[in-house]
Amino acid sequence: MGSRSPVSDSIKIGNKVNTEMMRLSCHPDKFIIGAEDELKVCAKNLTSDYKVDVTPADIWSIDLANGHFYYFDQAILKRTDLEFENTVRYLQSRCCFFFEEHHQKLSLCPATNTLMVGFGPKAALYDYVDNRISHPFSWGRVIGAKPARSWYIYDYCKETQTLTLRDVTEALPTLMVWEDAETPPLRGEGEKPDWAEKLHNQVYFGFKATEPDEPEGPPSGEESSLQE
């Protein structure tokens, strides 16, 4: 039975008692409240606008400035507006299937169609439009907000002993080393017997199961290389 309170009833999701909440927009104020199987979009007084079969864990990033949020559905990344009326499907974002389960979602940059994921002590950028993945780099070497408007890297000057941030958003195509993500062979392409092993090395940054899987913290000002 539901509560006598209309507010608590409006956010009740089945028999779930553990819910998550995040802000979806500021003007108007809207929030996402969800559990393991679905979420509701609520107004600031917690009255429910509508519900969808998406869980809070499926949401990659909320882009308040542009009124979009990105979520994972059926092995690909999607973008929709706050009313779930205009949805864009990124059909080449197949690596998100692996990122969703095993990686940490660090940031997403709509301007460059890239997202950053972490696994173990390393991270990488993934182009979810062209299905390309960068060579991994040290955790915290590239940074961005949530969602990122730009990507930055740390620059350390030994002479002045200063640590600064440099905007590398426009330089990504040449600054990073990119590879097309391996995919299963399409019908008529012939056999690709080692595609699965190559994809595993790309997606998991070359780590094996016995190697450490806990992330390191961001750099403390020591000079480090972007590509390792």
Same domain as 24, residue 80: yes
Tell me if 188 is assigned to some domain.
yes
Helix (H, G, I), strand (E, B) or coil at 87: strand
Higher pLDDT, 89 or 82: 89
Q: What is the pLDDT of residues 73-88, one digit of tens each?
A: 877 899 988 777 889 9
Shared-domain flag, residues 109 and 195 = yes
Which residue segment(s) compose the domain that 179 sits in? 104-228
Q: Which residue has the higher pLDDT, 224 or 31?
A: 31
| Residues 112 and 80 both lie in one domain | no
Residue 3 shares a structural domain with residue 37: yes
Residues 184, 215, single domain; the answer is: yes
65 vs 3, higher pLDDT: 65
64 shares its domain with 123? no
**Residue 41 and residue 48: Cα distance in Å, rounded?**
6
CA 78 to each of CA 93, 112, 121: distance values in angstroms, whole numbers, following the listed order: 9, 15, 28
The reported pLDDT for the residue numbered 10 is 47
Instruction: Say how far apart CA 33 and CA 27 lie, in whole Å.
Output: 18
Whether 109 and 200 share a structural domain: yes
Residue that finishes a domain, picked among 45, 64, 91: 91
**Band of the pLDDT at 58, cuts 50, 70, 90?**
confident
My answer on whether 7 and 68 are in the same domain is yes
Higher per-residue confidence, 43 vs 93 = 93
End position of a domain, from candidates 91, 115, 142: 91
DSSP strands (E only) in the chain? 20-25, 30-34, 39-43, 48-52, 59-63, 68-73, 76-81, 87-90, 104-109, 114-119, 122-127, 132-134, 137-138, 142-143, 152-157, 162-167, 178-180
Structure tokens at 69: 């949020």
- Please tell me whether residues 66 and 154 are part of one structural domain: no
- CA dist 69 → 25, 94, 125, 128, 147 (Å): 10, 18, 19, 15, 10
99 lies in a domain? no
Do 141 and 69 reside in the same domain of the chain? no
Tokens 């450490």 map to which residue?
A: 212
**66 shares its domain with 169:** no
Note whether 44 and 75 are same-domain residues. yes
The answer to the question of residue 97 being in a domain is no
Of 91, 115, 130, which one is at a domain's C-terminal end?
91
Q: What is the DSSP letter of 167?
A: E
Number of domains in the chain: 2
